Amino acid sequence: MTFLSKTLARVKPSPTVAMNQLAQELKAAGRDVIGLAAGEPDFDTPDNIKTAAVAAIAAGKTKYTAPDGIIELKQAICDKFARENGLTYVPAQVSVSTGGKQVLYNAFMATLNPGDEVLIPAPYWVSYPDMVLLGGGTPVIVPTALETGYKLTPDALEAAITPQTKWFLFNSPSNPTGAGYTWDELRALTDVLMRHPHVWVMTDDMYEHLAYDGFKFFTPAQVEPGLYERTLTCNGVSKAYAMTGWRIGYAAGPEPLIAAMRKVQSQSTTNPCTISQWAAVEALNGPQDFLATRCAAFSERRDLVVGMLNDAQGITCPTPEGAFYVYPSVAGCLGKTSAAGILIDSDQAFATALLDETGVAVVFGAAFGLSPNFRISYATSTEALTEACTRIQTFCAGLSG
């Protein structure tokens, strides 16, 4: 349709949302579907956070706020960065948005010019390349490999940097692989970045609190203080506090960048939901002990899924450090034919046949820029995961050729 913008024509709709929708439609039509495509915790928002929101409504805190957040939330975010990440920020260096997604979007809108490149390690969260395109920049995809646990190597980063590189977009623990970078792995990357002072770092730390087996989370500006002046540290309450629907994300970085992001926000959504901001103050300042209990549950589910998937013929699944995803390779299934006669010639064919023949909904790897794989979200019950993995094993055992 010629009426629509040329920029939009370059952008794809989110494939994870599409897969969820398909699974829900099949379910509504009476099919026995197990959805493992959703990217949100199955746990509820903790009660103290809900109570804080109700109290905010009762107190009439229901009007517009400053575009990039109330001072109480900005201060809570500064305290969080100091307490958990050893990073010193003042409220003027903090921006609060409608979800982590809008934080990243504002940053790209505020900084990208035609020709600017953004380095994105693959597999990546589906929205990254499209947000760069919407901002008018060029996504440059840097592949990783199963052998390195889908983590970017310093050599690959070095080779991808050009004079046009504006941002390096970093995400640990990762969506879709769950891969988390250790201090040393991160140090090797920050050493490369220190040699290229024109490259800024956008770090998406959304899964910081979802890490297992004693994995210690670090963020780039903490590992290399020399990057502080050119790093935007992004985070949010969606995943750790099970607050996906409340829509609060935040970032901290150099004041001129934060001011530019404020300008974008003030001319688009004005301010993030006032009530959700008060809820987020409680999330960040309130008790944090529930996180350990939830991580213990996630880590048990991860072990269950990784074990059962590695027992499926043709599937190889590394054990990730965090988030609530696994990203198994289906290289061993390619070229085979399913029990219903479908040729598995790609991860998309694998995921589609799996859904058609067994009712298990996963997202194919091509959506995340690295094939042949699929992503499972294990943020669901042990019973559902056991049943889904049993069906995957049966599906794989039924492949022939």
Tell me which residues touch ligand PLP (CB under 6 A).
39, 99-101, 125, 171, 175, 204, 206, 236, 238, 244, 249
A 10 A CB-CB count for 303 gives: 14
Per DSSP, the residues of 268-298 read TT-SS-HHHHHHHHHHHHS--THHHHHHHHH
- As measured in angstroms, the least distance from the Cβ of 324 to ligand PLP is 10
Helix H or strand E encompassing 249: strand 249-252
Phi and psi torsions of 251, nearest 5°? -150, 155
Nearest distance from residue 217's CB to ligand PLP, in Å? 14
Contact 181, 157 (CB under 8 A): no
- 11 or 339: CB nearest ligand PLP: 11
Q: In the complex, what is the shortest distance from the CB of residue 94 to ligand PLP, in angstroms, rounded to a whole number?
A: 16
Query: CB count, 10 Å around CB of 15?
Result: 17
Nearest distance from C-beta of residue 100 to ligand PLP, angstroms: 3
3-state secondary structure at position 21: helix
Whole-number minimum distance, CB 31 to ligand PLP, in Å? 25
The whole-angstrom separation of Cα 282 and Cα 234 is 19
Residue number of the CB closest to ligand PLP reads 99
Q: Which is nearer to ligand PLP, 17 or 342 (CB)?
A: 17
Is the CB of 222 or the CB of 238 nearer to ligand PLP?
238
Q: Work out the angle at residue 176's Cα, subtended by the Cα atoms of residues 174 and 182, and round it to the nearest 5 degrees.
A: 25
Min separation Cβ 63 and ligand PLP, Å: 23
| Residues linked to residue 360 through DSSP beta bridges, in sequence order | 34
